[in-house]
Each structure stands twice: as C-alpha cells, then as structure tokens.
Amino acid sequence: MALVSTPAERFEDLQEYDYPHDSVTVTDDGAEMAYVDVDGSGEETFLCLHGEPTWGFLYRKMIPDLRTRGRVVVPDFVGFGRSDKYTDIDAYGFETHYETLQRFVEALDLEGVTLVCQDWGSILGLPYAVSEAPERFDRIVAMNALLTDGETELIETWHRFKEMVVNADDLDIARVIDGGCVSDLSAAAKAGYSAPFPDDASKAGAYAWPPMVPQDPDMPGADRHARLREDLREWEKPFFVLFSDSDPMTEQYRDLFRELVPTADDEPDVWIEDAGHFLQEDAGEACAEQIVEFVDRH
C-alpha cells in the first residue's frame, strides 16, 4: 500500500506551532508517526490526542499553559499532520490506528501520563489508557469524547457529517473544522489545518475515519469499548470530563462519563463556554487552564 509524506515546505511559517518535531516508525511497512515534544517547567507529562480531521496543530493554544506543568507530547495519527499517509482508504482500520498509538507510547516509553483526548483521540486513547496500559497513565481528561461500544446510538447530526465526508469529491478540511467551531477560523488557522493535505489522495485517512466509528457491537473496535465501559466502572485515578457547551455531536456522552467513572464526579461540573466540537480551537486557553487546575488538585 502506497505511503506518502507531505512536503516539509507545507508546514513552514505555521502560526503558533513552530515547535521542533520528530517521528517514530509505528507500522511493519515503515509508516512514520510524527510528533512534537515540548519541554516544560514541571514534572507532568501530557499526551494530547487529536481527532477527525485535525492534527497536532489543534493543540497549539493549549501547549503554552500545559508546559508550565511539564512535558507536552502531541502526535499526529498516521494519515494526518506530518505523519505518513496511506493513499488507499482501505489501508486504514481501527486496529491499525490502535496499534500505532500503542507503538508510539511504547517507543517514547511514556509514563506518569495525563491523557488529554478528544473525538478520535478519545476513541483510541481511552481504551488504550484505561484497559491496555493503565500503569502508564495517572490522569485522564476526556474532552468532547465518545464511548463507542455500539450501545449508545450516534445522533443524526453525526450521520449527516459522516455522509458528507464519504460523499465529498475533494474534502475541504479547513471548512469542516470551521463548521465545527463557534468562532470563525482565521486565514492562518485555515492554512494550518489544510497544510497536511496537498491533494485529495493525501486525505484518505480523513475520508476513512467517520465510517470507522463503531456504530454497532459487531464493528471493529466496539469490543474494545465494551471492555472500556466495564473498566471505567473500576477506574480509581482522577478523570476529568471537560466538554464544550455547543457540540451536539458528543454532548450525550458527557453525563455518561460523569456517571460511569467513579472519580469523575469528584471533579468540577464545568462546561467550556462558547466552544463547539473543536473546543481546543475555540477556547484552547480556557481548556488548558481547567486542565492545569485539574493537575494541581491531584
């Protein structure tokens, strides 16, 4: 299966995201997963996972505050950002993405981690952190997150979004993200989100993700989330549910997590105001402030 790399010049002059980056090999056929690894002034390690159809650039407004408490690691999933991209939609699968995340964390030997995850970052990150490698994770921040074991029906808005992506002739990445925000994206932000995708073939990962969300118990990944649901009932480490006030795609999961996870109810019952699905973009500074306070509480 063909692998391509986005030309480096596409990422020149990124506004607020000029951190040094590196990569690690995460598949048997040599796909590289890119990441930024920002040193901080504290002892914490934050692992920030993005979703559809974004990349690590999404966390640029949060890194400055998070790094006041420690190291900030922000990878790009394969198919996104600076990471290698398959040009065949069929090359992507739930288990492929899950295994690349596992290999990435193990390659960097991350420990004592505060997981910060949203959208697909939560679909992949939560089962890994809670059920697969809980010894590596000290805290979890679930931001506009999902529990996709096939038992909770995805809303009509999500189904319309999926069909829009699947049927697009040439997906406008920046437009998708702009539509998922309360605020209007600046020209610089639109350029940043579009940078990883020089042509339609490079967007195969973005086309693949929406139909891949487990929608019934027989789909790949649903079994991991069924186990996740049970393991969350026994989770004893700090768990912060941090959702925005204007995201119909995920709002049904907010109370689910707060009621399911024993420690979630110990945290403040807060909403990130004036923010949509991409709350890191709409209100990144406010999100980071809440997360820093969460870390300080524990």
- Is residue 28 part of the annotated active site? The answer reads no
Q: What is the rounded CA–CA span in Å between residue 178 and residue 186?
A: 9
- Is residue 277 part of the annotated active site? The answer reads yes
Beta strands in 97-237 (DSSP E): 113-118, 137-143
Q: State the catalytic residue, choosing from 50, 97, 277, 282.
A: 277
- Sorted by sequence, the CB contacts under 8 Å of residue 226 that are 6+ apart come out as 149, 150, 151, 217
Q: State the catalytic residue, choosing from 138, 149, 178, 247.
A: 247
| Coil, helix or strand at residue 142 | strand
- Is residue 298 part of the annotated active site? The answer reads no
- List the structure tokens of 241: 């549910």
Find, among 36, 9, 4, 2, the residue nearest to 21 by Cα.
36
Q: State the catalytic residue, choosing from 76, 119, 138, 149.
A: 119
The answer to whether residues 47 and 59 touch, using CB atoms and an 8 Å cutoff, is no
What residues are labeled active site?
119, 247, 277
